[in-house]
Structure formats: C-alpha cells, structure tokens
Structure 1
Amino acid sequence: MELRQRLTLFAVTIAATPLVLGGCTTDRKSGAGSVQGRAAAPPELTVTPSDGTREVPISAEVGTAVKGGRISAVRISDDKGTQVKAEPREDGSAWVPSRPLQPRRTYTAEVTATGDSGQITTRKTTFTTMPESTKPVITSTLYFTGNRTYGTAMPVTVAFDPPIAKEARADVQRRLFVKTNPPQPGAWSWVDDGSQVYYRAPDFWRPGTTISVRTGLQGLPIGEDRVGDADRSATSRIGRQVSLEVDNATKQMSVMRDGKLIRKIPVSLGKPSTPTSSGKMVIMEKHQYATFDTRGEPNGGYVVDVEDAQRLTWGGEFIHGAPWSEGDQGKTNVSHGCTNVSAAAADWLMGVTQVGDLVTFKGTEVRLQPGNGWTAWNVSWDEFVMGSALPVPAGLQPAPAQAPHPGAVAGGSPTPAPSVTAN
C-alpha cells in the first residue's frame, strides 16, 4: 500500500496511511474501461477489513482503494445502527473513526465509488472488533494541552514509556494527526531512543495559528506484545513571537519580541563543574514557586526553594530568580546549571514568556543533548526530517546533498559531553 503522504491535516483530511488489517472485500470485475460501442466499466473498489473479519483492533480504519473512479460516500455504523463519525485520510486510502471503536462490537461499512463516466460501485463489509486487550500498554504523554496559548517554537511532543522500538514507529506515527489553520505543513521526527517524537514545521509557527492534535493510540497493536494506552485530542493557538538569547561571553540575556530587542538581563550560568548547555531549548513549564531537590543526583545534594522558575530541560536546567547571586549576575557563573537572574527580572520574564518560546544559549562548555527537553529546534530541518519513520512529502524533504567544494577540508564535530542534571 502506498506509504507516501503528507503528515499535516487540513480541514477534515488526515495525512497518513492506514493500518494493514488483512483481507479485503474487492470488486473482481475485469473491465478496464470503455471501448467504442460498449458502456464504460464501473470502478473497481476494494474495502478493508474484509467481510466477516473478526478480532479487529479497536484502532481499525476502513481502508478504501479504487481504480477508475473516486470514493463518493462512506457510511460506518455499529451493531445498533448508530453512525460512526469518521474522517478521510488525505490520500484517500482510509477513513479513520474519530474515536476508538468499542471492543466486542460488530461494525458495518458501506463504501460507494463513482466512476469517471458516472458509473457506481458499492461495497459493504461487516467486521467484529476484538475483546478488550490484556496486553501491557505503552504509556503515552501528549505535551500539548487544549485551550492554551503557546509560543511560536512549541513542538507537538509525544513521550512514550517504555520507548517505541524502531520497527514499530511507523505504525505509531500513522496514528498521530495534526491540523493547522492556516495550513503550515510539518513532519514528525523521533528521538533516537524512541522515547519522544516531535512535530514541527520547517519554520516557527505563525502567530495566530490554531493547532489541533490527536494521538489515536488506544488499542493500537505496538510490536508483538503491547498496545497503545489512550486516544487524546487537544486544540490550542499560537500567540505572540517571543524568544530569549543568552550569551555566556557577555553573561547577558537578550529578550526579543517580534524580532526586536525589548530588554537585556544580566545572568549567571552554570559554573565550570556544572555548566549550562548550549543549544536551542523551548520553555516547557512555568512555576511561580518551585523546590529543587537534588539529593542523590550528581553534583547535587541540596534542597532550595525558588520563585519564578521556567523549565528548559528534563535534566533540571531552569531560568529562575536567584537573589543570592545578584552580585555575580553579568560577571561570573556560579549556578548548578540553571540561568540565574534577579528576583525582579524573573518576575518580569514570567509576564512576558509563554510555554513554547525559544531560548538559545551559546558559548558554554557543553552541548544540549537530543531529547533533553523539547529539542526539536536544536537541529536543522534537513536533519529533523531524517528522524521520520515514514516518507516525508516531496515539498518537505531535505535538500539534495551538495558535493563538497574541491578545497574543502574533511572533518567533523567532537562528541558532545553529557548534559547538566543539577540546578
């Protein structure tokens, strides 16, 4: 089955390919078209799952394939006659129920195809879903909440526990849906260990964009021995453009709004033994009050209460108010990896920033590690799309590799050091 498709949803279209359910109901007419003096053959229509199929996953889709025409009507109903709301994939390869099917239920799909000359072919298939699964679930977390306003660098992030094996990622990715309004096509990309997958566009989201997300994973077979845990949906919008740029050389933070500098703030970053990471981060959480408890962690062992804390990494790097280091801010790095600012500056920042704003650090001793936070912007677009488990649409594919200049010197970058875990 054709796997190439766009990964962004527009209007009611869903960009991905269907699960292979096995078997099919097909029109076996052999006519290939009209000939002079004879009526054109009706379209050839194939529908999956096949009539009478049992033990169908509750994540099932109604697959449709047609030759010599187009799908003109699809009706899916349960064994009580209630219609099941569904949306077509953008490539027309399947209709996806808007919510998981129920276990141990029988469903009927009636599909009609209309030929180029008006001929009609209709196929009906009835199938039964499997009992509620007793297999262990893979827990998924969607870091995109409904009815919120996010920054322009907000990636749609889904985390998995345990991580998704490489051979199962394509099936999972097919069930991750994103719609943007106005349309701004993007792609999914997996962290190497399979613990997270990100969705973003080649450039930052345009302010005012509405993003709707669905992770249709409930009951999805994942590998041989696990299933997906839940079907989640959320819709939110993108707010104003704000970004922070932190330079270790000057010990200054530049606060940008719509590309214009609105304030500079002195900072104290991680000291040499616990350096702050360099790279492109995204604000993940905002807390008016927080307690950092690093007992048992490397270079930790302390408990401290802070105000106006904004998380940047899973490893424990935050921007927060640090009145105890105000004499060092703008001069010396004394923190355990966090970005210390004055109490007044931290309070002001809380009113300016949003979850999803970009924060860029440069000039520190270590590099930001992939997956340590929402690191979707820490690589180029060409590198990002290489992490997709499915083919990327032609318009979003990486640029062709350029032959090196005859005078170029071969080489590479050293392996980055581990990220900071202390605060």
Structure 2
Amino acid sequence: MELRRRFTLFAVTVAAAPLALGACTAEGRSASRPAQGQAAPPELTVTPADRARDVPLTAEVGTTVSRGRITAVRITDDKGGQVRAEPREDGSGWVPAAPLQPKRTYTAEVTATGDSGRTTTRKTTFTTMPKPTGQAITSTLYFAGKRTYGTAMPVTVAFDPPIPKEARDDVQRRLFVKTDPPQPGVWSWVGDGSQVYYRAPDFWRPGTTISVRAALAGLLIGKDKVGDEDRTATSKIGRQVALEIDNATKQMSVVRDGKVVRKIPVSLGKPSTPTSSGNMVIMEKHQQTTFDTRGSADPYVVDVEDAQRLTWGGEFIHGAPWSEGDQGNTNVSHGCTNLSAAAADWLMGVTQVGDLVTIKGTEVQLTEGNGWTAWNVTWGQFVKGSALPVPAGLAPSPSHAPHPGAVAGGSPAPAPSVRGG
C-alpha cells in the first residue's frame, strides 16, 4: 500500500497492518508545562519500553501521539550506526529495513509536533534477545524481482511447515506490499496455512510497480518456531492477457486488452484424467521440459515443448503434435491443455507468468491451493481468509465479480508435479 508520509532518513516498504509493541512510555525529554491559555504540547508514547531486554529481532518502534503528528524519528545501534526504517501507513510504528541484530542495544528518539508548533520528544533504549533457536519455518516468495508479470499475478508466500491459525496474524503483520500507482489489496490464507496470497479487488493495472517484503527473519512463530529470513522483490505488471478455454467447444480464446485476438483448438483431459475447471494463473513457462510420471498409476515419460504450468498437480498448456488430430473435437490428454506445436509456440510469445487462465465445463473443479488460486473465489470469499481486519475501503461489494477477460483495472505449496499429458 502506498505510504503517505516519508522521511529522508528511511527507506523500506510497509503496509497498513497495525502492530503494538509493548506497554510503557519512555520518558526522555518533554515540553515544559504550558502557561495558562497556551496550547498543550503533543502527548507521545514510544515502545519498546525504555531499558527493555530480550526484545524480539522483529521489533518495531511503536508510536502513539495525540494533539500532534510525528515529525522526526531517529534509530541508532550501540555503535552509533543509523538504522533505516519507515512508518506503517497507519502511523502505529516504524519498521526497521532489516531485522535487528541479537543481543544488541538500540536507541530510538521520536519527536511529535503539535498544531501550535510545540514539540514533545521521547527516547527509549532497549536490548534485543539472543539469536532464536527454534525450528525454522522455510518461506518461499513466489514474486521475483525485476520481472514483468501478468495482471492476475497474486503475490504468493509459501511456508514449510504450514502456519497454524493462531500464528497467522503475527506472520501477516510482517508481510508488506506497496503499489505504484496505489491499488491496495488484502492477504488471504489457504486453509492449511501452506500459502498466503495478496491481491486487490480487481486485476492489477498494466504498468503498476509492486514492491514486496516478507520480513520474517527472526519472527517468533508459535511456541517453538521462527521465521527463516527476509525476502524482498520489486517488479512491474505488463499488458493485459487472459486465456478462456471452453470444454464444450474445445476452443481457447486469447484475449488481449479486452479483445479476442485468436481462437485455438484444444484437447483437454480424457474422462479418466480430467482437466480442472476454474480460474488459474500461469505459474511457469518452459521452452522444453520432461513429464515423468513413473511410479503413478499411468506411468510415462515424454519430452514436451512450450509448456506453461497452471497447477502444482501437473496441469500445463503445451504443444502436443501427437494429438493435433483430436484438438478441437476430442479430449485425450492426461489433464493438460494440448495445442498444436505452432499454436503453442505462438502462445509462448504472448503470455506472461501471472496471466489469468479460465477453464470451464470439465468434470472436476480446481481445488484451493492447487496452484495460485487467489482468483478462483469472489472478493467476498477471498477477504474472509485474512487473519487481520480488512482495511477500510476494501470491504467486499456483493456485486463485485470482475469478468476474467476484462481489461485489468484494478510443506510450502505442494511439490510441483510434472504429470502433464
């Protein structure tokens, strides 16, 4: 989410989820008692408490102010080095750009200025905890830096082992997204806690820059686990492309900027290995790959070209010259969407990771978490997966349901299968 306020001292991305860091006010310097008739200075509290010990490495400098606003924040370590940080959008705290170091002492000095110009300054000095020794929870950020993604690209973080329900609010508070131009969204958890998605109510606008930080290093998760590391990435959203596949007609419509630019005959999954129906997102693109299903009930090994992954379970769009006679009339695949070699090669030059793919009319429905399924539910259903209150202005509208082909306006995940077919 876009930050309204920025100080030259600080530079990290943050979002609007609130975080309280403890209790007391550190009493540093304060304005003197106002003379009769003179405006009172701001009231300011700062956390962690002064002289606090064993403070978490993910600590933030919490600020609460009345009759004024924060006008200066300076955080230094015990060697006098400056700690970069940036405010949460709601003003509840300042988030260091990197995890604090274990068993180090830090000092934060915060100044608030009232409408009358009077100021109040508070200072707090605290010492961090030793390095956590709990089991590390591995996180994977499926949003790489310096890429161009499609307009349906959800920011996805996966966890191994999954995050239990009672710890998801703490984890979610440390997941930050900023968009330029602003297009705020919400985090939503997959039921088992293995993945969490971030998206806006509508598809990303082409040209949007998205910056992400999963600030989980040193985060205490539950009773005996700890986050593994911080992960950051900044990328852009490219042109609008969507694929609409109809089992009834055995045709794929390629939609670009709201217009159908090509229709392509397809062959989907045969009755014993049906293709999933639902709203999916292109996850990977491979010029060449090998589908190896040895050990399954239907073992085979086959090299394929121009393959685009849709699910963790192994459903792809790919070139299949062996089924070109069936494409447009008969389903013969192992669950994939088969195209001619020429059509698959052309499509690779059109699509991006993050493009929406809608398949309808098959025998089975897409299951939650089998791929990046953030668009396979309504906005009202999506926000119910947030572990924190939904920000103002993002409450669902009963009628909100963007058309999949509309121009955009708006264990970790299971080990990828190469079922293919």
**TM-score between both structures, scaled by the size of structure 1:** 0.89
Aligned partners of 1:138, 1:63: CA distance in 2, in Å?
26
Letter in 1 for 2:313: G
352, 355, 359: which one pairs with 1:357? 355
Query: What corresponds to 1:76 in structure 2?
Result: 75
1:57 positional shift: 1.4
Per-residue CA deviation, residues 272-324 of structure 1 (Å, 9 max, x unaligned), is 01100000000000011111111223x43211111111000001000011111
The answer as to whether partners of 2:291 and 2:418 remain within 8 angstroms in 1 is no
1:382 positional shift: 1.1
Query: What corresponds to 1:145 in structure 2?
Result: 144
Are residue 88 (structure 1) and residue 95 (structure 2) matched?
A: no
Per-residue CA deviation, residues 177-203 of structure 1 (Å, 9 max, x unaligned), is 111111111111111111111111111
Aligned partners of 1:364, 1:303: CA distance in 2, in Å?
25
Letter in 1 for 2:25: T
Aligned partners of 1:90, 1:352: CA distance in 2, in Å?
37
Query: What corresponds to 2:320 in structure 1?
Result: 322
Unaligned runs of 5+ in 2: 7-12, 400-416
Query: What corresponds to 1:291 in structure 2?
Result: 290
Task: Please state whether the residue corresponding to 2:170 is helix, strand or coil.
Answer: helix
The answer as to whether partners of 1:252 and 1:267 remain within 8 angstroms in 2 is yes
Aligned partners of 2:86, 2:24: CA distance in 1, in Å?
20
The answer as to whether partners of 1:26 and 1:44 remain within 8 angstroms in 2 is no
Aligned partners of 1:38, 1:395: CA distance in 2, in Å?
40
The answer as to whether partners of 2:294 and 2:301 remain within 8 angstroms in 1 is yes
Aligned partners of 2:378, 2:37: CA distance in 1, in Å?
57
1:394 positional shift: 2.1
1:28 positional shift: 11
1:378 positional shift: 0.6
Query: What corresponds to 1:175 in structure 2?
Result: 174
Aligned partners of 2:418, 2:366: CA distance in 1, in Å?
11
Query: What corresponds to 1:125 in structure 2?
Result: 124
Query: What corresponds to 2:208 in structure 1?
Result: 209
Cα separation, partners in 2 of 1:165 and 1:60, compared to 1, 3 Å: same
Letter in 2 for 1:24: C
1:119 positional shift: 1.9
Are residue 343 (structure 1) and residue 337 (structure 2) matched?
A: no
The answer as to whether partners of 1:18 and 1:61 remain within 8 angstroms in 2 is no
1:137 positional shift: 0.9
Query: What corresponds to 1:411 in structure 2?
Result: none
Query: What corresponds to 2:16 in structure 1?
Result: 16
1:270-289 alignment, distance < 5 Å: 270-289=269-288
Aligned partners of 2:30, 2:287: CA distance in 1, in Å?
70
Task: Please state whether the residue corresponding to 1:167 is helix, strand or coil.
Answer: helix
1:383 positional shift: 1.0
Are residue 393 (structure 1) and residue 391 (structure 2) matched?
A: yes
Task: Please state whether the residue corresponding to 2:393 is helix, strand or coil.
Answer: helix
Aligned partners of 1:9, 1:319: CA distance in 2, in Å?
39
Task: Please state whether the residue corresponding to 2:338 is helix, strand or coil.
Answer: strand
1:58 positional shift: 1.3
Letter in 1 for 2:352: Q
Query: What corresponds to 2:133 in structure 1?
Result: 134
Aligned partners of 2:3, 2:178: CA distance in 1, in Å?
4
**Aligned structure 1 segments of 4 or more residues deviating by more than 3 angstroms:** 7-13, 16-21, 26-31
1:34 positional shift: 7.5
Per-residue CA deviation, residues 129-162 of structure 1 (Å, 9 max, x unaligned), is 1121111111110000000000011010001111
1:20-59 alignment, distance < 5 Å: 20-26=20-26, 37-59=36-58
Aligned partners of 1:182, 1:207: CA distance in 2, in Å?
10
1:268 positional shift: 0.6
Query: What corresponds to 1:404 in structure 2?
Result: none
Per-residue CA deviation, residues 217-244 of structure 1 (Å, 9 max, x unaligned), is 1001111111111111100000111110
Aligned partners of 1:154, 1:181: CA distance in 2, in Å?
15
Aligned partners of 1:358, 1:351: CA distance in 2, in Å?
15
Cα separation, partners in 2 of 1:185 and 1:278, compared to 1, 3 Å: same
Aligned partners of 2:18, 2:277: CA distance in 1, in Å?
40
Query: What corresponds to 1:190 in structure 2?
Result: 189
The answer as to whether partners of 2:306 and 2:345 remain within 8 angstroms in 1 is yes
Unaligned runs of 5+ in 1: 1-6, 402-419
Query: What corresponds to 2:300 in structure 1?
Result: 302
RMSD: 2.2
1:15 positional shift: 2.5
Aligned partners of 2:418, 2:361: CA distance in 1, in Å?
18
1:67 positional shift: 1.8
**TM-score between both structures, scaled by the size of structure 2:** 0.90
Query: What corresponds to 1:409 in structure 2?
Result: none
